Structure 1
């Protein structure tokens, strides 16, 4: 059976939001004997220019045939696209005959504007999460997840997370073994768990505008310490209240959440790439005991440290 995957584009879309999933489905289709057929869609069809200036040819939504899965990409143009009545009507109509509706990055804004995320859990790029929450208060937003499935609707975080989403969809269709082969062919990590934090991207960008870059580095070097808001605020020569407010605005999460994510990042690295006992890793990462770390892993990654170590060893 060949499944038709529709990729919805609009002017100033993010190229990798489309190219990542397209490549994953193309490789999976070859491996599984024409398992997928891909079609690029836009409101009126024709050439659609990405924010990078690269142009892709599309079919108009009125001429779109049956779809198994519809993926809405993100990009700067999503701010205009979400106000397009034709695109909103198309998305709403497709809920009746499409098995899965998906979004990459700020493509979630289009699904939400069409009222398709009301009451659902969803995610988007961390930089636009506050705007999303303000515009769509009826959506249960998790701004830290890589991707989320809520029934027939799947949403994912920014840019490269579209590849994670595609691998998860492929695994859902064709099994985990084939999804793993696709990831190996693409030379990417095999299916980062949907609940894994986006926080690594924040670290690479220095915590938003960079005001807390040095502090984040200091935290990473002192994870075994008790890192209270008062301790961190004192290091920045700020009052706890002002520090908490400013940190959240700059980094996109509370100081406590950031500390936990840094602890999780450090612990996960050692769990997957060393033979260090779990108890020692928990202590060095500041969790103090294995049970506390296990609960944190379940919240963030959906599986305990021991399972992640076994999975990493199997790769």
Structure 2
């Protein structure tokens, strides 16, 4: 099979890049960078670097797992369906990783190192850590470092507040567990036994949505406490946002305990992340240590 650089190939590559998480992580980074007052060019640079890194991680996942996805009949994977060559996806993964590294160099030393480590964590997961008990570690590292990338970027970048780093880390746990839940049977058939697999369906789901609640509380405390708390409408929205995330988490736990695992669980986490994005947008200077 040969693939010309056509619109169809680009579409298939995008579908292979795990576009939902890619877009969500990029938006989160851009919102944080905007909230702390970075100029537009820094926000744009952060967004471009992060989207390149996330594209590379998603593409590497589909390239490395091509045989496994084909064996279990993953109809949502273009590579598994034979719609695009493995080599094309591999090349795109390497190229976007290179672009991410180059763009990171312009973020400043702290943000650059943080982003390169973030991308490396994602690739380490794809390359084999997903099959081990420490499969959650790359997610904790990557999402914990995301605020560092966004806040430390640019010539006037600072260091993010501890609560922002902690929020990212626990949110990574929720992302990992809910993303894996629908694939537990397929993963077991192909020898993948990561952290969520060893916990089991119910325990993993409870850990995932419990992590969401922890993230919501951390964001709420971060906004209402400290030396520069939000006031007025911002405080009201902070409380409402936390309540919404807790409700979504409760719905998620109920679905885990009463029905088969579906992609709805992951969508609940994505929806919660968008609520947290809005909250972080109002956090402003509180995001900076």
- TM-score, reference length from structure 2: 0.35
Q: Which has the higher contact order (CA 8 A, sep 6+)?
A: 2
TM-score under structure 1 normalisation? Answer: 0.33
Tell me which protein shows more helix as a share of its residues. 2
Query: Which structure's CA Rg is the greater one?
Result: 1
